[in-house]
Amino acid sequence: MMYQYVLLIPLIPLAIFLLLGIFNQKIKPGISGYIGVAGLLVSTLLAGYTAFEYFFTSDKVDGAYQPYVSKTVWMYFTDTLHIDMGFLLDPISVMMLIVVSVVSLMVHIYSRGYMKGDQGYTKYFAFLSLFSFSMYGLVLATNLFQIYIFWELVGVSSYLLIGYYYTKESAVAAAKKAFIVTRFADLGFLIGILIIGYYTGTYDFEMLTDPEGSAILNWASTSFMGLSVLTLGLILIFIGGAGKSAMFPLHIWLPDAMEGPTPVSALIHAATMVVAGIYLVARLFPMYYFVEEGFALQIVAYVGAFSALFAALIAITQNDIKRVLAYSTMSQLGYMMLGLGVSGYEGTEGLGYMASMFHLFTHAMFKALLFLCAGSVIHAVHSNYLKDMGNLRKYMPITHITFLIAALAISGIPPFSGFFSKDEILVAAFEHNKLIYGVGVLVAALTAFYMFRIYFGIFWGKNLNYEKSPHESPLSMTFPLIVLAILSAGAGFIPFSEYVTADRMGFEAHLNYPLAVVAAVVGVTGIAAAWIFYKKENPLPDKFANAFGNLYTWTYHKFYIDEIYLFVTKKILFKGIAGPFAKFDKKIVDGTMVGIGNSTVSTSEKIKGIQSGKIQDYALAFIAGAVILGILFIYLWKGD
């Protein structure tokens, strides 16, 4: 089967970006929206066709889906070490094509209504297309350097979209924060790539992830500080992934990134850019599993579990609905990392890997839906804060029902999609690490609680007298909500384990009924608690906030992590270290150079009269010099 048409999937958004970017002053806003939507629609249809061809018509070998690679040498170093450009089709890249395509298309359609009347409408769609091109390139990459190139392009395009409202200081600061934090993480990624490439002799994914290949079999050949250098390289690559996927402590950029337009939040911070780190670990999963008996994978598991719990606690106390969803995203990304961290490799042992990818797929649908519903609400009441919302179900029935479906899905309530994917992660955790399983169950309860806290706060709660009566969003905004709601409700019934697995060999997954009941019960318990606290206005939330005292204060202030970063950077790095060096540079180094220059100028001022330009002065100097030399040789110099 030839898949050369797959190149069109990323190239179409690139062409649209160039078209809208170059002619943004000449193309009418309405037309630019249609161009953006039409281009993504074609890419989505091609992605769907690719998925159908790959999963249903291509031949398996020994029961395993075979990768399809098309590449050409781009930069040549040695016979074994070179950087290629091309595309790689295998179960996870094809699955990611569907995720990126569906969410991007829905966001493009939604943006036509949400951004209507905006001055930079055409530029906005150009940026969206650039981001889509970058994500397509990332998921189709055949090697570490190619994925790094598109990784950085994703960072640049997300910077442009987060800082889209560039006249707002907060948006500019958020864009810079996201860019700088992820740059530090990407430095680790780059060093990891260089280490892996140097010690394995290849950057190619197929060679790196072959369990029978030299890269994995010879992992113990070189060590440093008690660890294999490949393990150190994998940890550094994970740092890059942790930065993009907002894992603790590199998460601080994600909540602030909500300053961008809400459709951007749905695209970048729900389904595409933030899952790049998950995809990266999954792409290199055989290395993480086999090298040094999975040492780096244990780090992935514990960082994911901690990030999931940390973010869930913060989400409970936030009042900006987009920030609640941002911390919810961080928590669910932690769930996915956790799933990868507790996974085996072959057959049902790879349940965690399959469940993590399944949760990535389902989460993309219901989290994009939650963000777009939030955008619909913000569009109606012109505020992000719960205090300005209440009883909106009467005014916005479609938004209300679709938000409820997404909230039930993320809470893990059967038969919605989140129940199936989250349950499989918990089963994998239970079989491999009881502590991580306990954290996962607690996070499931907290997730249900904070999601229904904002659900009741927006659509029930207090009766507000709105100055301008809210109304349902236009069809261009509600249509994507309905599509994503259908996917959020039904995606769980996809037999995902037959298509996407660690060893590319499908298996039949079954519900573990006792653990499924536990997961469903904690979800229902969280919803019931939110019902008691928030369905109607009452004093209980304030009483409990006071009862928890400092814990509530700490979670409300996000455990002061931002303040710690500011203290370290401003007080220690800038004032304590950089300040003295800057002073030394200015006073000593610059002062020395300035002193030499000033001395030269002063001396030249004093002696410049010697060269007067008058012939008689030069004749006098010549004769005087001759006389002096004569006296020197005749009277003072004596030969032997």
Predicted confidence (pLDDT) per residue in 377-404, tens digit: 988 888 888 888 888 888 889 999 999 9
8 Å CB contact between 365 and 485: no
Q: What is the pLDDT of residue 226?
A: 64
What is the pLDDT averaged over residues 353-375? Answer: 92
Q: What is the pLDDT of residue 234?
A: 92
Q: What is the pLDDT of residue 215?
A: 79
Q: What is the pLDDT of residue 638?
A: 59
Radius of gyration for the alpha carbons in the chain, expressed in angstroms and rounded = 31
Phi/psi of residue 88, each to 5°?
-120, 125
CA distance 197 to 603: 58
Phi/psi of residue 466, each to 5°?
-75, 140
For 513-632, where are the alpha helices, taking DSSP H only?
Answer: 513-534, 540-548, 550-556, 561-566, 579-584, 590-607, 615-631
pLDDT tens digit sequence for 474-528: 888 889 999 999 999 988 888 988 898 888 888 888 888 899 999 999 999 999 9
pLDDT band at 462 (very low <50, low <70, confident <90, very high): confident
User: What dihedral angle (degrees, nearest 10) is formed by the CA atoms of 12, 13, 19, 24?
Assistant: 160
For 53-168, where are the alpha helices, taking DSSP H only?
Answer: 91-114, 121-140, 144-162
Cβ-Cβ contacts under 8 Å for 442 (sequence gap 6 or more): 309, 312
What is the pLDDT averaged over residues 150-166? Answer: 89
Taking the mean position of all CA atoms in its chain, how far away is CA 63? 34
Phi/psi of residue 75, each to 5°?
-130, 125
pLDDT at 640 over 60: no
Query: Tokens standing for 52?
Result: 């159908």
What is the pLDDT averaged over residues 530-534? Answer: 89
What is the pLDDT averaged over residues 607-636? Answer: 82
pLDDT at 117 over 70: yes
8 Å CB contact between 379 and 395: no
Phi-psi group of 117: left, alpha or beta (phi > 0 → left; psi -120 to 50 → alpha; rest → beta): left
User: CA angle, corner 315, sides to 374 and 158, nearest 5?
Assistant: 60
3-class secondary-structure state, position 382: coil
Phi/psi of residue 470, each to 5°?
-65, 155
Q: What is the pLDDT of residue 225?
A: 63
DSSP letter (8 states) at residue 56: I
Taking the mean position of all CA atoms in its chain, how far away is CA 153? 12
pLDDT at 269 over 80: no
pLDDT at 302 over 90: yes
Q: What is the pLDDT of residue 452?
A: 92
Number of other residues whose CB lies within 10 A of the CB of residue 211: 14
DSSP for 237-298 reads HHHHHHHHTT-TTS-THHHHGGGS-HHHHHIIIIISGGGHHHHHHHHTHHHHHHGGGGHHHH
pLDDT tens digit sequence for 584-603: 888 888 889 988 999 988 88
Between helix 321-341 and helix 434-459 the angle, nearest 10°, is 160
Query: Tokens standing for 139?
Result: 């998921």
pLDDT band at 370 (very low <50, low <70, confident <90, very high): very high
Q: What is the pLDDT of residue 223?
A: 65
What is the pLDDT averaged over residues 57-70? Answer: 84
Taking the mean position of all CA atoms in its chain, how far away is CA 632? 83
What is the pLDDT averaged over residues 436-451? Answer: 93
Which residues does residue 85 pair with via DSSP β-bridges, in sequence order? Answer: 72
- Mean pLDDT over the full length of the chain: 87
Q: What is the pLDDT of residue 345?
A: 87
Q: How many residues does the chain have?
A: 640
Phi/psi of residue 128, each to 5°?
-60, -40
* Omega before residue 255 within 30° of 0, cis: no
Query: Tokens standing for 397?
Result: 């029935």
8 Å CB contact between 343 and 356: yes
Q: Which residue has the higher pLDDT, 217 or 486?
A: 486
pLDDT band at 221 (very low <50, low <70, confident <90, very high): low
Q: Which long-range contacts (CB under 8 A, 24 or more apart) does 202-206 make?
A: 202/80, 202/81, 202/143, 203/81, 203/83, 203/143, 203/144, 203/145, 204/84, 204/142, 204/143, 205/88, 205/141, 205/142, 205/143, 205/144, 205/283, 205/284, 206/67, 206/69, 206/88, 206/142
Q: What is the pLDDT of residue 1?
A: 55
Q: What is the pLDDT of residue 439?
A: 93
pLDDT at 219 over 70: no
pLDDT band at 606 (very low <50, low <70, confident <90, very high): confident
Phi/psi of residue 344, each to 5°?
-90, -160
Q: What is the pLDDT of residue 42?
A: 94
- State pTM to two decimals: 0.88
**Terminal CA-CA length for the chain:** 102
